Structure 1
Amino acid sequence: MKFRQISAAERTATMFPLQAYAFVPSPWPAGDAEANSERMKFFESTVSLVAEEEGQTLAAVAAFRMRQNVRGRLHDMAGVASVSSHPSARRRGLVRELLNRLLRQMRDEGCAVSALYPFRAGFYARFGFVGIPRYRTAAFAPEGLGHLLRAELPGEVSWLPMSEGFDAWDGLQRRHLLTHRHGFAVFDDVRAAEFRDDKYWVAVARSGGEVVGAVRYRIKSYGGDLVADHLLCANPLGRALLLQFFARHVDQVSRVVVKVSTDEVPELWGTDIEVITEGKVDRPSHGGPMVRVLDMEALDGTAVGPGAITVEIPDDELAGGVWRLESADGALKVSKGTAAPSARVSVGGFSALLYGVLDPVEVVTRGLGEVPPEAVATLGAMFPREMPYLVADF
């Protein structure tokens, strides 16, 4: 068995057949391979690993180079994707070996954290990943926002094809949301460039010349659904401008379906609005995202609450060890621990605390660690609950 990193140009002949068989309807049209080959310029910065035997690719994994906000601190992030294997080579440990190699390499190249969308969460939990919230969808008739048609808002919305609105849409994410939203992540410029030519409309909300909101969308049919991507807003005015834009589609579409974060409350968008807000997680097509820490010392400077504690993270090649965690004026200081640890948590358990999705008691009840009562208060104060919002889909 041979394990190696391949170039973007090699992906079409090595990874594409496995990915296509795993994730898209098949058999696929003959032109798909050619179209995929043309896309490879957008994968030049992607780290792609394959397992080969007698010249045949049997398994593959990849990582996109990304940036993510974790409690206010920006980190290089490995977005794991393209995990696939030949049907006859499954359950041979090839994906496990490739993932271990990939995570190790991405950590060595400076990635402090990693994220992915699982086909089965239990499989990736063995690699130290822990779940975070999946976005919600809100579905409503545009007449439910009729009150906004009478509102005079200090701003305007531009309706553009994605090729023209990309810079505003992408810029809002990089300049504002990435720096302000816990859990928010963006691709590097190489990978993100492919979205410029997506066959989407994009509505861009501006106030005082500043982009305060953006949403890309498609209209499925006259009298059908307007299906939107994430409702990206810098502030409440940006949200109001975009919702007002949706309201203007009354008598054209029957429903608006838009992705929203877990802290949005669509039922409060209007007095008489009828809305279905749904969060769907199933296997294998709608997995909730998962995250993990790759480098503990890179977490220096993370915004945390008061406290100091020594914890042990056992049995993890990348983040394992005994660590002293201290809050200095609200900023985390991480160093190698020398005293006996006050708590023992898995890398998944610590990642859940860091990302704010579980409190220390839940770490224990989920079987992710041993946290004595006297350590619960300290860890809870240092890592208060804070729901991350991961928009990027990869």
Structure 2
Amino acid sequence: MEIRQLNMEEFDVSTQLSEYAFRYKLTAEEKEQRRQHFVPEQYWGLFDEAELQAKLTLLPFQVYVNGKVFDMGGIAGVATWPENRRKGHVAQLLKHALQEMKNQGQTLSFLHPFLVPFYRKYGWEVFAEYKRYFIQAHQLPPRVEYEGKIVRDVTDIATLDGLYQSFASRYNGTLVRDETWWKRSVLNGNGHTAVYYSSEGEPQGYVLYENKDKELICDEFVYLNENARRALLTYFANHPSEQFKMNMVPVDDELPFLLPEPRVKQELVPYFMARIVDLSAFIAQYPFEVNHSLDLVIQVEDSAASWNTGYWHLTVSEDGQGNIEPLSSGDKLTADISGDIQSITALFMGYKRPRELYLMERLAGNPLRATELDRVIPAGRTFFMDFF
């Protein structure tokens, strides 16, 4: 068996595997479009005597964590032929991808799971969820008179991205979008945009939506202040739709509180998974809370990335700088806190607090030390609006 990057001549066999594994069929035009965007070095395959047995895509991204940008490796397109399942091919590819990400300085990795328990075996953990609202027309908040204006079908990426980045950087895990991503993955459908401009002409919010027969479907609702939110809600209310479906809403959103009747249908959807690829490099970048110091020993288990496994001495200075050093396994060591890489990821991404994980028995050790750790981890919320 050999693991290597694909080459341009292997586009067709890679596409055949994707079509079979994910149960779709590309038209000739769609296949040619994908061929033009095919980046062979982002595709890794496991080969047996030159025959492709399994593959995955490793995409270079950046994401926000506590307002700071981290390099992230996105795993997508994991596929194998049915006769090869349960032979460990995907496991080999995932472990190889982790080593590649470590080599490239990608301290985090995200993926969208077909099955959460499968990827938990290799260190990924659910880190983000979103809400979905189903609001009937009569349940919308009353229309308001607002200063400024709303402009429909704005396609200027600089305007949209400026609003997106201001909104997204408030959360942990949101993607740093570049122009190519906006064109190919965000503004690639038949939907509409609408941007709210203040009376001074400053863009302060936008929506991405589809206007169907009886339903308006909003896929992104981004606003920088309450004026922008109320103006955009009024804009929606001016449509003759019977139902308004709002997707990808942050978990901390409080729209129901603003509704005359807050008992609207809501769904909470677990979404993407994350894992820390390189604990040492991640902690060196991580912005801790200032004015608190910390000194403790953490034990980490990571069956897929052995470089994370072991006892670690974690220190945090009062200026928020963290440092983590491995401790010799030959010493008689006692961990203040211990957990697997899944729990450690949920902790530092801000998805779960240390005390929560301790109460759920996902962290073990001294509960007082968990409280100390809680003080140095910023109180952020996770969110992810994209898909790959």
| Same structural fold, with TM-score higher than 0.5 when normalized by the shorter chain | yes
**8 Å Cα contact 1:225-1:257 kept in structure 2:** yes
**Which residue of the partner structure matches residue 288 of structure 2?**
304
**How many Å separate the matches in 2 of 1:186 and 1:116?**
16
**Which residue of the partner structure matches residue 158 of structure 1?**
151
**Which residue of the partner structure matches residue 350 of structure 1?**
344
**How many Å separate the matches in 1 of 2:43 and 2:103?**
15
- The DSSP-based 3-state class of the residue aligned with 2:236 is helix
**Which residue of the partner structure matches residue 55 of structure 2?**
60
The within-5 A match list for 1:1-394 is: 1-7=1-7, 9=8, 12-24=11-23, 26=24, 28=25, 31=27, 34-42=29-37, 44=39, 47-145=42-140, 147-148=142-143, 151-160=144-153, 164-174=155-165, 176-195=166-185, 196-207=187-198, 208-221=200-213, 224-249=214-239, 252-259=240-247, 260-272=249-261, 275-281=264-270, 288-296=271-279, 297-305=281-289, 306-308=292-294, 309-315=296-302, 316-338=305-327, 340=333, 341-364=335-358, 368-383=362-377, 386-394=380-388
**How many Å separate the matches in 2 of 1:113 and 1:275?**
36
Quote how far apart the aligned CAs of 1:155 are: 2.9
**How many Å separate the matches in 1 of 2:206 and 2:35?**
27
- TM-score, scaled to structure 1: 0.85
Quote how far apart the aligned CAs of 1:366 are: 5.1
Quote how far apart the aligned CAs of 1:264 are: 0.8
Q: How has the CA–CA distance of structure 1 residues 14 and 210 changed in structure 2, closer, same or farther, with 3 Å as cutoff?
A: farther
Paired residue type of 1:257: K
- TM-score, scaled to structure 2: 0.87
**How many Å separate the matches in 1 of 2:387 and 2:261?**
33
Which residues of structure 2 form unaligned runs of 5+?
Answer: none
**8 Å Cα contact 1:226-1:256 kept in structure 2:** yes
**How many Å separate the matches in 2 of 1:72 and 1:387?**
11
Quote how far apart the aligned CAs of 1:365 are: 5.6
Paired residue type of 1:303: P
User: What value does the CA root-mean-square deviation take over the aligned residues?
Assistant: 2.6
**8 Å Cα contact 1:326-1:334 kept in structure 2:** yes
Quote how far apart the aligned CAs of 1:165 are: 4.5
**8 Å Cα contact 1:200-1:217 kept in structure 2:** yes
**8 Å Cα contact 1:140-1:273 kept in structure 2:** no
- The DSSP-based 3-state class of the residue aligned with 2:208 is strand
1:26-63 alpha-carbon deviations (Å, 9 max, x no partner): 4x25x2x5413313444539721112234432211112
Paired residue type of 2:32: S
Quote how far apart the aligned CAs of 1:314 are: 3.2
Paired residue type of 1:185: L
**8 Å Cα contact 1:348-1:368 kept in structure 2:** no
- The DSSP-based 3-state class of the residue aligned with 2:373 is helix
Runs of 4+ aligned residues of structure 1 deviating over 6 Å after TM superposition are none
Paired residue type of 1:145: L
